[in-house]
Structure 1
Amino acid sequence: MNYTLLNSIIVIYVGLIAYLGYLGYKHTNSTKDYLVAGGEINPFIMALSYGAAFISTSAIIGFGGAAGAFGMGLLWLTFFTIFVGIFIAFVFFGKRTRQMGQNLEATTFPDLLGKRYDSNLIRAFSSLIIFVFMPLYAGAVLIGAARFLETGLGISYITALIVFTAIITVYVTTGGLKGVMYADAFQGSIMFLGMAFLIIYTYVQLGGFTNAHVLLTDMVHLVPAKLQAIGHQGWTSMPKFGSALWWVVISTLVLGVGIGTLAQPQLAVKFMTVKSNKSLNRATLIGGIFIFSMTGVAFVVGALSNAYFFKNFGKTALEMVGGNFDKVIPLFIKTCMPEWFAYIFMLTLIAAAISTLSSLFHVMGASIGKDLYESMITKDNRGSQKQSMFLIRTGIVAGILLSLLLGYILPISIIARATAMFFGIAAATFLPMFMLGIYWKGVTRIGAISGMFTGALSSIFWLVFIHKKEAVALGISQAIFGKPFLIETFPWMVVDPIIVALPLSLAVTIAVSFFTGNTAIQPPHLKKCFEGIG
């Protein structure tokens, strides 16, 4: 290991990040600056920040590793992240979210929902869902970073986890969202260049595009028997339609994450950082190109790692890592790439992790330190902006500690699944009232609350008692009912909660709104909500 080169790269990187964090700190003079960057962020910076916060080590390490196991069928997730996560999100959600956020002077996602429905209950419950379940996603991102540092630097996993978390803590508590977004744009640039080199070098090592895919296709007979039994048909093919693996790939990984993107609090708040719809239009193309280069490369390289490992070591990717999906990409980088690139790619992954975690911790801190606190007290009892930022930073530290704990106790091969779990819960809880709230004046407070509780509780129930993977691991169903999971009829035990909970939440929100609303009588605050929107 070339410690001189490694240390030089790290010093330069840390110095630049520290400077960007300082710029954010220097220009943060109010709670609005801290939470939505003053609402005047450049669209290029916003697009890269959105993409960098979206694409983390969970996408590169976790889902790249899942592609190493399941194959290129995960490229459907690339399509969904671009079409839904960028185009639909920016064009159909972003503009209305930005305008309504400005109309209501909202500074966080729960704040926006609470003010839209004039409900402290919605604001408080939304903040609790974020603070309780977002650490699951943050923990998965921490694991991805720590696993790469463990493999690349030869240090223990626990040491890597603690050191990386300490760096994040110092960084994210100082600069506010301005510092976060400045650094995100810089780190997004590093990620783009790193992934471009990764895909090109991978194809060079495998003899070009055609040879690489032919080699991988011809390895179909090497698919492990356990994966064949649940529908695996090779790394260049989709799983057998309707099989257990097909349901995992499509319902959990593709739909769970692809649709769940629309209701991610850390992404929705980005829309409130730009000053015009024109800025969002300019950001859409940049964001789409960035997401394509990140997810597309990660999933293709993850699958092709099988061809590389078999060609050079006579083993598949899962055989090389002892069955732990989360180690596929780190080991591939260590064995396939030149040493200097391994160091650069380490920064790519650190950049991906920092950009996502900074946004996640920022949202967690604001949810517990601002939204929950303010929803429980009167305006007359609220403290100064200085006290508000202190509470937010305290909330950030609490979220970091909870995420660190989960990073320590979560099992192997968990990154992709933990990410999908949070995205699915967020979609079922937030998406119906968020989507309807920015488009339909007729959705009522009671309808939104009913749908919110329905989505959250049905998601949790399905994870605890129906979905086999989580139900068996948790053991609650076994303890209460004497059965590991309640529905043994295929395919229900492998159908992701989002398939059931999201439609149910949407139906309840609409139905209750129709029964409790009166289109002739609109609450006074609705006029302000929809000013400039229609």
Structure 2
Amino acid sequence: MEGKILGIIVYLCVVFFLGYHAWKRTKQSTDYMLAGRGMNPFVLAMSYGATFVSTSAIIGFGGVSGMFGMSLLWLTFLTIFVGIFIAMVFFGKRTRRMGLALNAHTFPELLGRRYHSKFIQQFSGVVIFVFIPVYAAAVLIGISRMLEVAFPAVSYGAWLLIVTAIVAMYVITGGLKAVMYTDAFQGTIMAAMMLILMVTTYSILGGVTEAHQALTDMIHLIPTKLQHGGLVGWTTGPHLQSPIGLTIYTTIIYGVGIGVLAQPQLAIRFMTVPSDRELNRAVAIGGVFILLMTGVAFLAGALSNVVFFNEYGKTSLAMAGGNFDKIIPLYIDKIMPGWFSGLFLVAMFAAAMSTMSSQYHVGGTSLSRDFLEQHVAIGNSGSSMKLNRLGVTVAVIATLVWAWLLPGGVIARATAFFFGLCAASFLPIYLLGLYWKGMTKIAAKISMVGGFIFSMFWLLFIHLKEAGPIGLCQALTGQVTLVANAPSGSWVWLLQWVDPNVVALPVSLALAIGISLVTRRMEQKHLDLCWKGLR
């Protein structure tokens, strides 16, 4: 216990020092929102990765792999190929150049200035501010559950307040510089701990081959409910045309793996470096980091079934009392050596703080820069920073409220929801805005709003995981979902487990292309400004 406390104290001292260092160097709004556009490739890569991967991935998705097995490793592939390589090479460079040409400070501002539309900037800013606290709350829940297991004398509710206060202190004062400096430090800790976790897990089970074979041989221990849901085995994965298969492949793998391209807290990092060279160098660093983070978490989560059964005669889900958010914390607390549990706790603290700080920052600046500043006269850069700090404070409070309200086992679902919503709303106009001069303002507006509405409709009236608990469809139609009464096992009935993004993203993309082809092209002078430096 003393070791855990000491480790956290030392860690916090370093974080607050970096936050103070960033605060001293934050003099104007560009420093607060874009870290002065002067970050090096290591800080960029580690900040990008640490923001992308947090307790929601390690605790939440790691717990999901403990329940559903190794099929989640497909998400590791997508996060590296799409989330790092495609994002930095094909999105990052053009985002940096266009953002500089248009003097954009936020992701919504980049979209708004690309299409010369205050509506696009304000609408996207409001969407981000309203919904990113749900994602941030998932991260906050993850680390609070971990701390609850490690320090049972302190309640879960108290940990929500303590963690919120710690992160808020340096984000509100230091802005994106503080976020990125601390992210780089936190990401280094996370990578080291995940490497140790992988080596230790395979050592406990006698090696890679032995560990995977043991998990394969446990097929008879898969709970009956999971078998009926479509899970075939913990190493083979589920049937695609089953409730579990559709949940894993459409919501978790596709929704998160593709949705990463339109994440505002990640896209903004492309505008913090001085040249394309930093982005090129960051690809390799970021790829290795993401492999360690997600790959190890998903492997450890799945293999925890073998370890728990050997030690306690129970599968992971049974050990966690049915709450898969507790699988990884229990595995670390009960199986790993005492010295490691303390260090891993620090790493998870780092993972949570690195992501939450970015979420608070992007949510707050979306409220202030992209909405309030469009309606309130700002005298100077100092006034702008004060408004930004107010926005971040509001985002922090909103996240805390959501963390109190959300139910257990929600970490992975809340993460996938935000990723999917951003993809349906922003990805088509973001991608086409970077590469196609024929994309028009009216098409961008209709695509963005249409993708958002279609995604929310599917979530509220079709997708069982959200439609059921929210209850709007039940109240209006008398059915849990609009397809609940379809014949069981039919393709219509299975739509209840198809993620909204699978349908909403193609609709949004079709609207963007189709309407652009029949509406007036934007003025050439404006397009020349947008494309300045892209060639």
TM-score with structure 1 setting the length: 0.97
Q: Structure 1 CA distance, aligned partners of 2:480 and 2:209?
A: 46
How far apart, CA to CA, are the structure 1 residues paired with 2:382 and 2:37? 20
Counterpart of 2:35 (choices 11, 30, 37) is 37
Q: SS at the partner of 1:233?
A: strand
Offset of residue 487 of structure 1: 1.8
Equivalent in 491, 507, 511 of residue 508 of structure 1: 511
Q: Contact (CA 8 Å) 1:28, 1:34: kept in 2 or not? A: yes
1:167 is aligned to 166
Give the alignment of 1:22-421 within 5 angstroms: 22-154=20-152, 155-377=154-376, 381-421=377-417
Q: Report if aligned partners of 2:114, 2:530 keep a CA contact under 8 Å in 1.
A: yes
Moved more, 480-489 or 47-56: 480-489
Q: Is the 8 A contact 1:121 1:375 kept in 2?
A: no
Q: Distance in 2 between matches of 1:223 and 1:401?
A: 41
Counterpart position of 1:493? 496
User: In the TM superposition, what is the alpha-carbon distance from 1:345 to its structure 2 partner?
Assistant: 0.4
Paired with 1:124 and 1:176, the residues of 2 have a C-alpha distance of 21
The question of whether the paired residues in 1 share the 8 Å contact of 2:4 and 2:345 is answered with no
The answer on 1:465 being equivalent to 2:465 is no
8 Å CA contact 2:63–2:327 kept in 1: the answer is yes
CA RMSD of aligned residues (A): 1.0
The counterpart of 1:482, out of the listed 478, 484, 487, is 478
Q: Distance in 1 between matches of 2:431 and 2:300?
A: 35
Q: Does structure 2 retain, via aligned residues, the 8 Å contact 1:123–1:375?
A: no
Q: How far off its partner does 1:233 sit?
A: 1.1
The alignment status of 1:453 with 2:449, answered yes or no, reads yes
1:436 counterpart = 2:432: yes
The one-letter amino acid paired with 1:499 is V
Structure 1 CA distance for aligned equivalents of residues 375 and 104 of structure 2:
17
The answer (yes or no) to whether the contact 2:19–2:174 under 8 Å persists in 1 is yes
More displaced, 326-335 or 23-32? 23-32
The CA distance in 2 between the partners of 1:233 and 1:531, in whole Å, is 53
Query: Partners in 2 of 1:278 and 1:302 — Cα distance?
Result: 37
Q: For the residues of structure 2 that align with 1:258 and 1:239, how far apart are their CA atoms?
A: 18
Cα deviation for residue 294 of structure 1 reads: 0.4
Q: Is the partner of 2:532 in helix, strand or coil?
A: coil
Letter in 1 for 2:201: T
Question: Contact 2:240/2:249 (CA < 8 Å) preserved in 1?
Answer: no
Separation in 2 of the partners of 1:171 and 1:279?
A: 26
Shift of 1:376: 2.9
How many angstroms apart in 1 are the aligned matches of 2:119 and 2:87? 26
User: Does the Cα contact within 8 Å between 1:199 and 1:301 map onto a contact in 2?
Assistant: yes
Question: Is the partner of 2:168 in helix, strand or coil?
Answer: helix
Residues 381-433 of structure 1: per-residue CA shift (max 9 Å, x gap): 32221221111111111111111111111111110011000000000000000
User: Structure 1 vs Structure 2: percent identity of aligned residues?
Assistant: 53
Determine if contact 1:82/1:292 at 8 Å carries over to the other structure.
yes
Q: CA deviation at 1:165?
A: 0.8
3-state SS of 2:482 partner? coil
Q: Aligned partners of 1:347, 1:523: CA distance in 2, in Å? A: 53
Q: TM-score, with normalisation over the residues of structure 2?
A: 0.97
Residue of structure 1 equivalent to 2:487: none
The separation in 2 between residues aligned to 1:277 and 1:262, in whole angstroms, is 18
Per-residue deviation, 1:374: 2.3
Output the CA distance in 1 between the equivalents of 2:381 and 2:92.
27
Question: What is the CA-CA distance between 1:523 and the residue it aligns to?
Answer: 4.3
Stretches of structure 1 lacking an aligned partner (at least 5 in a row) = none
Question: Quick one: which amino acid aligns to residue 229 of structure 1?
Answer: H
State the one-letter code of the partner of 2:500: P
Aligned counterparts of 1:523 and 1:162: Cα–Cα separation in 2:
52
Partner of 2:51, secondary structure, is helix
* Distance apart, 1:32 and its partner CA: 0.3
Q: Return the letter of the residue paired with 2:459.
A: L
1:328 shift after superposition: 0.2
Residue 443 of structure 1 contacts residue 517 of structure 1 at CA under 8 Å; is this kept in 2? no
Output the CA distance in 2 between the equivalents of 1:343 and 1:374.
44
Instruction: Find the aligned partners of 1:199 and 1:408 in 2 and give their Cα distance.
Output: 33
* Deviation of 1:6 (Å): 2.6
Unaligned runs of 5+ in 2: 485-491
Which sits farther off after the overlay, 9-18 or 184-193? 9-18
Q: Which has the higher mean CA deviation after the structures are superposed, 78-87 or 387-396? A: 387-396
Q: Deviations over 1:39-68 (max 9, x none)?
A: 110011100000000000000000000000
Q: Is the 8 A contact 2:20 2:170 kept in 1?
A: no
Post-superposition offset of 1:319: 0.3
